[in-house]
Structure 1
Amino acid sequence: MRRLRIAVAGLFILSLAAFIGYNIYSRIIQDNEPPTITAESDTVSVSVESEDDSELYQGLSAEDNRDGDLTDSIRISSMSNFTEPGKREVTYAVFDSSNQGATLTRTLEYTDYTSPQIQLTAPLRYTLEEMSDVSLTENMSVEDCLDGNITSQIRASYNDAIYVQQAGEYPVTVQVSNSAGDTCTVGLTVTVTDPSDENEGSKYYPMLSRYIVYAKTGGSVDYDSLITGFERNGTEYLLSEEDDTFLPGDRGDVEISGNVNFEKAGTYTVDYKFTSEDGVTATTKLAVVVG
Structure 2
Amino acid sequence: MRKVRLAVVVLFVLSLIGLGGYIVFDKITRDTTPPVMSCDSESITVSVEADEKELLKGVSARDNKDGDLTDSVRIASMSRFTENGKRTIRYVVFDSSNNAAEISREVQYTDYTPPQIQLSKALRYKEEDLKELDMGAGMTATDCLDGDITNKIRAGLNDDVYIDGPGTYALTAQVSNSAGDTCVVPLELTVVDSENRDEGLRYYPMLSQYIVYTKKGQKIDPASYLQGLEHNGTGYFFGDRGLSDADAGDVSVNDQTDYNTPGTYTVEYTYTSKDGITGTTKLTVVVEE
TM-score, length basis structure 2:
0.87
Aligned partners of 2:222 and 2:255 also within 8 Å: no
Aligned to 1:45: 45
Alpha-carbon distance, 1:130 to partner: 1.1
User: Secondary structure in 1 aligned to 2:116?
Assistant: coil
User: How far, CA to CA, are the matches of 2:147 and 2:165 in structure 1?
Assistant: 38
The percent of aligned pairs where both chains have the same amino acid is 49
Aligned to 1:196: 195
User: Secondary structure in 2 aligned to 1:118?
Assistant: strand
How many residues were matched structurally?
Answer: 280
Aligned to 1:33: 33
Aligned to 1:109: 108
Aligned to 1:73: 72
In structure 1, give the amino acid aligned to 2:141.
V
Tell which deviates more after alignment, 139-148 or 201-210.
139-148
User: Secondary structure in 2 aligned to 1:142?
Assistant: strand
Unaligned runs of at least 5 residues, structure 1:
1-7
In structure 1, give the amino acid aligned to 2:251.
V
Aligned partners of 2:161 and 2:170 also within 8 Å: no
Return the match for 1:286 from 246, 271, 283. 283
Match status 1:205 vs 2:213: no
Alpha-carbon distance, 1:204 to partner: 1.4
Distance 1:98 1:124, change over 3 A: same
Return the match for 1:265 from 234, 250, 262. 262
User: How far, CA to CA, are the matches of 1:160 and 1:55 in structure 2?
Assistant: 45
Distance 1:17 1:182, change over 3 A: closer
In structure 2, give the amino acid aligned to 1:44.
I
Alpha-carbon distance, 1:252 to partner: 2.7
Deviations 1:152-198 (A, max 9, x none): 22111101343312100001000111111111111110111111222
Alpha-carbon distance, 1:284 to partner: 0.1
Alpha-carbon distance, 1:139 to partner: 0.8
Return the match for 2:244 from 246, 258, 272. 246
Alpha-carbon distance, 1:113 to partner: 1.9
In structure 2, give the amino acid aligned to 1:135.
D
Pairing 1:119-158 to 2, within 5 Å after superposition: 119-158=118-157
Unaligned runs of at least 5 residues, structure 2:
1-8
Alpha-carbon distance, 1:18 to partner: 9.5
User: How far, CA to CA, are the matches of 2:19 and 2:154 in structure 1?
Assistant: 70
User: Secondary structure in 1 aligned to 2:197?
Assistant: coil
Alpha-carbon distance, 1:100 to partner: 2.0
Match status 1:94 vs 2:93: yes
Aligned partners of 2:272 and 2:278 also within 8 Å: yes
User: How far, CA to CA, are the matches of 1:112 and 1:48 in structure 2?
Assistant: 6
In structure 2, give the amino acid aligned to 1:35.
P
In structure 2, give the amino acid aligned to 1:216.
K
Distance 1:125 1:17, change over 3 A: closer
User: How far, CA to CA, are the matches of 2:151 and 2:189 in structure 1?
Assistant: 20
In structure 1, give the amino acid aligned to 2:284.
A
In structure 2, give the amino acid aligned to 1:47.
S
User: Secondary structure in 2 aligned to 1:129?
Assistant: helix
In structure 1, give the amino acid aligned to 2:271.
F
User: How far, CA to CA, are the matches of 2:155 and 2:48 in structure 1?
Assistant: 28
Aligned partners of 1:228 and 1:240 also within 8 Å: no
User: Secondary structure in 1 aligned to 2:283?
Assistant: strand
